[in-house]
């Protein structure tokens, strides 16, 4: 097992990429802490992991609210006595042109996709520094590398995640902490299904122009997260890995 007895916090772990990651890391021996606002789905994921012989803990928290995040991380530390891996996966978007976007929607997208990453990382980092070890994996989006029409604020937030990843990697490398990011392409999640009708033309265009000619599965991203969470990537930090079926190539 690649992650035996490691403790992994996964934000947005209740469904989609987060759920697939929680299950995959658990199968590799990790103890899973799911932080999510979706209590029903979060508990279902926790119970599924436990039924398969894993160890999981659910904390209901809104990552945009600093005090809720601090309490969730404290509860996780109290239960498991250590933290090893942080997957900043929680995210949300809504396609809308910048011209038509109101301040409330703009701030919500920024808060969930960027400020939430800051909040959770800030709460977890002192424990990793004290242990002199850790893995931080930030989930961005291809929109953060190339931009996406009608997703200007989402693209900006995810680009911010990548900049934060690289800067933090420079700061905490001396503490034996690896900080990397993944830029997923189009992935078949509940969020995609919720937004599909409004972005049908965009999604169809992406599928047609992806060399592998398919939409990604949550497990495709979870496999990349597993690599970054394990010792297989011990000499990698400050990197952004694109997992998108070849849609973009650098």
The label of the residue with tokens 């011990």 reads: 234
Q: Which residues are catalytic?
A: 154
Whether 214 and 165 have beta carbons less than 8 Å apart is answered as: no
Whether 42 and 34 have beta carbons less than 8 Å apart is answered as: yes
Residue 177 CA, chain-centre distance (Å), reads 17
User: Helices 103-110 and 152-172 meet at what angle, rounded to 10?
Assistant: 30
Instruction: Please give the C-alpha separations between residue 18 and each of 129, 186, 197, 237, in angstroms, as whole numbers.
Output: 25, 15, 23, 21
The tokens describing 159, both together, are: 């680009």
Label residue 112 left, alpha or beta by phi (over 0 means left) and psi (-120 to 50 means alpha).
Answer: alpha
Residue 100 buriedness (CB in 10 A; 0-12 / 13-18 / 19+): exposed
- Which residues are 59's β-sheet partners? 35
The label of the residue with tokens 């809104």 reads: 62
Alpha-carbon gap, residue 107 to 172, rounded angstroms:
29
Alpha-carbon gap, residue 109 to 57, rounded angstroms:
27
The tokens describing 137, both together, are: 């994996």
């Amino acid at each position: 097992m690649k992650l035996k007895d490691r403790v992994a916090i996964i934000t947005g772990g209740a469904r989609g990429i987060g759920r697939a990651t929680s299950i995959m890391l658990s199968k590799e021996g990790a103890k899973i802490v799911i932080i999510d606002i979706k209590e029903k789905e979060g508990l279902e994921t926790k119970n599924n992991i436990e039924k398969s012989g894993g160890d999981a803990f659910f904390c209901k928290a809104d990552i945009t609210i600093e005090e809720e995040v601090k309490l969730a991380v404290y509860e996780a530390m109290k239960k498991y006595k250590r933290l090893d891996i942080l997957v900043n996966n929680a995210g949300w978007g809504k396609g809308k042109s910048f011209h038509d976007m109101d301040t409330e929607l703009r701030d919500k997208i920024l808060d969930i996709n960027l400020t939430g990453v800051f909040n959770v990382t800030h709460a977890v980092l002192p424990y990793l520094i004290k242990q002199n070890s850790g893995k931080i994996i930030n989930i961005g989006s291809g929109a953060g590398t190339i931009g996406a029409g009608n997703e200007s604020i989402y693209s900006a937030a995810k680009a911010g995640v990548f900049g934060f990843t690289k800067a933090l990697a420079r700061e905490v490398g001396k503490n034996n902490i690896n900080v990397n990011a993944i830029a997923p392409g189009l992935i078949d999640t509940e969020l995609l299904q919720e937004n599909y009708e409004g972005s049908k033309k965009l999604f169809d265009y992406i599928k047609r122009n992806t060399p592998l000619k398919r939409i990604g599965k949550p497990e495709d991203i979870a496999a990349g997260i597993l690599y970054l969470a394990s010792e297989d990537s011990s000499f990698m930090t400050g990197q952004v890995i694109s997992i998108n079926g070849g849609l973009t190539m650098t």
